Structure formats: C-alpha cells, structure tokens
Structure 1
Amino acid sequence: MSDSLLFHKTFLHPTSKEWVVFVHGAGGSSSIWFKQIKSYREHFNLLLVDLRGHGKSNQFIKDIISHNYTFKDVTKDVVKVLDHLKISSAHFVGMSLGTIIVRTLAELETQRVRSMVLGGAVTRLNARSQVLVKLGDWSKNFVPYMWLYSLFAYIVMPQRNQRESRHLFIREANKLCQKEFKRWFKLAADVNPLMGYFRDRELPIPTLYLMGDRDYMFIKPVKEMVARHDKSELLEIEDCGHVCNVEKPDEFNSHSIGFIQRHSLA
C-alpha cells in the first residue's frame, strides 16, 4: 500500500458487485465495525478505512498533516482510496462524526454514492455540545487530551449499557497523539455551519439515519433534518445510545443491510 493512502482493508464477495464503504468517527478506527463484518460480507464487497491520524493511518503522510485541516481534506483521503481500488460507486456507512465525512463525500462525488447509512449521525451541535467544545478548546493546551476525550465519551455515552462503546472509543483514542487530537477537535467548530448547508441542500441519494432512541445529544436535530428531506428516513433503535452499531449490532445490521439491498443494482 502506498504511503500516500489511508490504511484500508477489503473483504471481497465471490459474486456481488456491490461495495459498502465503512467510515468511523473521530477517535475511533475501522475496528469499530467488528460486529458488522460477518453479516455484511455475506452480501457485499467491503472496504474499511482508518481516517488520517487514526488506527493504522496514524503515521499517514506526516509532511502534509503538520497543519490543521477540514472535513473536505479528510474526505478527499477516502476518495483517493476509492480511486486506487477503482471503485466507481458504493454504498457508504458512517458512524458519529464519520457521517459528516460520508455526507461531504456525497457532496463532492455525488455520482459515486448509491446510498448512505448514517449511524449516530451528527447533524448539529446543541447548546450542551457547543459548551463542551468551547470548554475543551479553552483547556486543550494544558489538560491531557485523554482526560478531555474520556469526559466527552462519558457525556455522550453515559448509560451503563453504553459501557462497551465508551471503552472501545477511549481505547482507540489512546492511539491518537495530542497534536492529532487537537486537529480533529478543531473540526468540531465546523459542524454547525457545514451541516446547516447540508440541511438546506438535499442530495438525490437514498439516506437512512439509524439512531439510538437514547442518543439524547444528537437525535432531535436528525428528526428535524429528516422531516425536511424527501430522500431520507429515520429508524430509531430501542433502548440504545449513540454508538448503535456496537450497542445493538443485530438491529443495526438487519436494518442497514435491508436498506442497502433495496437500493442495490441486483
């Protein structure tokens, strides 16, 4: 694999021509999809990527990430992998902040996105989220970043049945260096203006929002967005929090695979 590409892994299906691309969120890695791979690979070809600075992409092209970057920059990394693998179109599954990467890719390369499954989608930061971001921005230079990340993880995923998701993301975030954490943290300031634009501009791409009904920080803005868009639908997973693919994998897999199959060529 070229040093100029994100770390990525593929699982090839013997007959299917459909591709599904998985995009994790900030602080995670492609390992968060471990409860999806077995079910998905029975139907599709799979591509999993580690975003810049995350997982096995943590040393990714150091010479060009010595500065801050945007969601568009991060998205173009994924596009380069698609080009490298000659994947002309695919279905995309994103989680948390990874849903913004998927939506940005759909904006940049609309013809390549056959459908989108957006789990634990971040479509707007509410007042509480914005206070947390400002607090973190103020303290990030003198508070150890893992303290901040652990605090955010507990606030976003506070319930007992979210313990596995919380520990998974904290473990993966430990692989980030402090400078990389700060770069991704700064991206949070772009969420509201970017998603405001996306809210007003619907793309002609079938979109499924899969949200835990206890994802209290993010579900309300998703309901508002779905109400405005004709191509979007929302499915709430009962007794589930933010990282619904880990907390309720059977429901997540069943609903998302069925959705993708409805929008496949075959």
Structure 2
Amino acid sequence: MLHYRSFYMNDDTPWVTLIHGAGGNSSIWYKQLREYKKHFNVLLIDLRGHGESTNSMWQKGDSFEQVADEVLEVLDHLKIKKTHFVGISLGTIVIQTIAKKQPDRFQSMVLGGAVTKLNLRTSFLVSIGNLMKRIIPYMWIVSLFAWILMPKENHKEARKKFVFEAKKMCQKEFINWFSLTKRVNPFLKSMQKDFFGIPTLFVMGEEDYLFLEDAQMVVIATKDTTFETIKNAGHVCNIDQPRRFNDVTIKFMFNHNRNVMLPILHA
C-alpha cells in the first residue's frame, strides 16, 4: 500500500485528499496543511516511487489507472467513503482518473496547475525528454523542466522544492513516470467532457505558460467547472501564492459540503 499520513478530527468533518505531482511527494503541501487541518480531516499520499512509497512495482503497460487504483486502496483502507480531492500538476491527471473510475467518492475536485493536454510546446519537450531519459542523468532533465515550468524569480521556491524532492527518486522510477506521458492526450480527452458531474475548480497561476491556456479552454467547454487565476504565480501556484490558493480552495470545498458554515478566511 502507498505511504500516507492522515490528520483526523471527527466523523462529522469532511475529508480532503491531497495528490502531488510527478517528481514531488506529499511534502509539497507544507503551505496548505496548517490551514486545511483547521477545517478538514486531511489525507496526504505519496504516489508510487515518490516520498516513502518506494516499494511499488511497475509492470509493463501500467498506466494512470493503476496509479489511481493505489490511491483508492488507501481510501478503502481508511474507510473514507467521500472526500474532496486537491491535486497539483500531474497529480491532477491521477485525480481525473479516479473521478472516471469512482465519481461517487468525490465531494469536489480542485485541479491546481492542471494538466489538461500536452500542446505542441509541451509535447515537444516531453518528446525530447523521452529520447534523452536513458542517455543522460535524469536530474539534468528534471532541472531543465523545472526552469521551463517555473522560470521567474517568484517561482524560485517552488523550483528549488521540485528539484530537491526529485533528487530522492531513482532514475528507474523517473523513467517509468515519464513514460506515462506518451499516452496522456487521448487519455485526458476521453475524460474531459462533463467531469462526471463533480464540482470542479481549476486553480492556475497566471504565469503558468505551458498549461494555463489549455485549462481555460477546457473550462469553457465543460459543465460543473469553476476557474480561478492567481496573480504572481506560476505552475506550482500552491507554493508561489499559498495564502490565495488556500483561500479559494477552502471556500470552494466548503461550498460543496451540505449544512456546513463557510469559514472566515483572509480578506
């Protein structure tokens, strides 16, 4: 089973499950945890090959469906019937996969730095990465992608955190995760029609140059979706502007809990 940490208040408090992106681990939510624990039971999960989930076994042909099943195994183990999901970057693909499999497990979903497709620029970068992944040290690729995704000075903390956590992965695990991107476009297109009736919030940094525009197009074309742009933030907007990220996500999740008063948040 995947490694997880949970923070439980009581049965009447809603759950929120946090899913990190590729190369990170559950520690990337360090700027959300204190605020979230005030209002929710919180579940943090390390995806396979990340953080303390180092014993996962990859099989040929494994996909986001298998990764989603591992997250659902943790929910079943903890007897969590319904939860809000909050994800960042590639973690948003895992969440969308879970939504396709078991939409009844969702209170809502928050997709931060959402990956909705790989456009020509990102497809080119991924193709280069796939060509070079077995030739050069994977940390060279990680560092390059970190600078491309988070190029500005105000992205520095998120960029350093991403590279620092990625160093804990072995090259084989990195290659396995990178290989999942080959099939991501048709896979995502099959899911992004109505998000299975689940209330969905996209939270994007206005400086997320690779993914912002495509996320906006998905919101325009689908139902049950809300869009929030965060100023002075890049791809990893939960680290670049945590106060704003926390405010908009907590309010959204409380709006989709029955008989619960909205918390008083920052002005």
Whether these two folds match at TM > 0.5 is yes
Once residues 31 and 192 of structure 2 are traced to their aligned partners in structure 1, the CA distance between those partners, rounded to angstroms, is: 30
Once residues 185 and 60 of structure 2 are traced to their aligned partners in structure 1, the CA distance between those partners, rounded to angstroms, is: 22
- Name the counterpart of 1:25: 21
Q: 1:203 aligned to 2:199? A: no
- Name the counterpart of 2:235: 242
Once residues 182 and 93 of structure 1 are traced to their aligned partners in structure 2, the CA distance between those partners, rounded to angstroms, is: 25
- Cα contact 1:16–1:44 (8 A) shared by 2: no
Once residues 67 and 198 of structure 1 are traced to their aligned partners in structure 2, the CA distance between those partners, rounded to angstroms, is: 23
Residue aligned with 1:41, SS: helix
- Name the counterpart of 2:39: 43
Q: 1:107 aligned to 2:100? A: yes
Alpha-carbon deviations, 1:46-104, whole Å to 9, x = none?
A: 000000000000223xxx32545200011100000000000001000000000000011
4+ aligned runs moved over 3 Å, structure 1 = none
- Name the counterpart of 1:152: 145
- Cα contact 2:110–2:200 (8 A) shared by 1: yes
Q: For 1:72-221, list aligned pairs within 5 A.
A: 72-221=65-214
Residue aligned with 1:94, SS: strand
| Equivalent in 9, 30, 35 of residue 34 of structure 1 | 30
In structure 1, give the amino acid aligned to 2:188.
M
Residue aligned with 1:199, SS: coil
| Number of equivalent positions | 259
- Cα contact 1:23–1:49 (8 A) shared by 2: yes
Once residues 245 and 233 of structure 2 are traced to their aligned partners in structure 1, the CA distance between those partners, rounded to angstroms, is: 11
Cα distance, 1:195 vs structure 2: 1.3
Alpha-carbon deviations, 1:2-54, whole Å to 9, x = none?
A: xxx10000011246430000000000000000000110110110000000000
In structure 2, give the amino acid aligned to 1:222.
A
In structure 1, give the amino acid aligned to 2:8.
L
Once residues 143 and 39 of structure 2 are traced to their aligned partners in structure 1, the CA distance between those partners, rounded to angstroms, is: 36
Once residues 97 and 197 of structure 1 are traced to their aligned partners in structure 2, the CA distance between those partners, rounded to angstroms, is: 17
Q: RMSD of the alignment, in Å?
A: 1.1
- Range moving further from structure 2, 241-250 or 201-210: 201-210
Identity of aligned residues (%): 45
Cα distance, 1:153 vs structure 2: 0.8
Cα distance, 1:138 vs structure 2: 0.9
Q: TM-score, normalised by structure 2?
A: 0.94
- Name the counterpart of 1:57: 53
- Name the counterpart of 2:263: none
Cα distance, 1:206 vs structure 2: 0.3
Alpha-carbon deviations, 1:97-130, whole Å to 9, x = none?
A: 0000001101101100110010000001111111
Query: 1:56 and 1:39, CA in 2 relative to 1: closer, same or farther beyond 3 A?
Result: same
Alpha-carbon deviations, 1:140-169, whole Å to 9, x = none?
A: 111100000110111011111101101101
Q: TM-score, normalised by structure 1?
A: 0.95
Alpha-carbon deviations, 1:242-265, whole Å to 9, x = none?
A: 001001000000000000000012
Residue aligned with 2:172, SS: helix
Unaligned runs of 5+ in 1: none
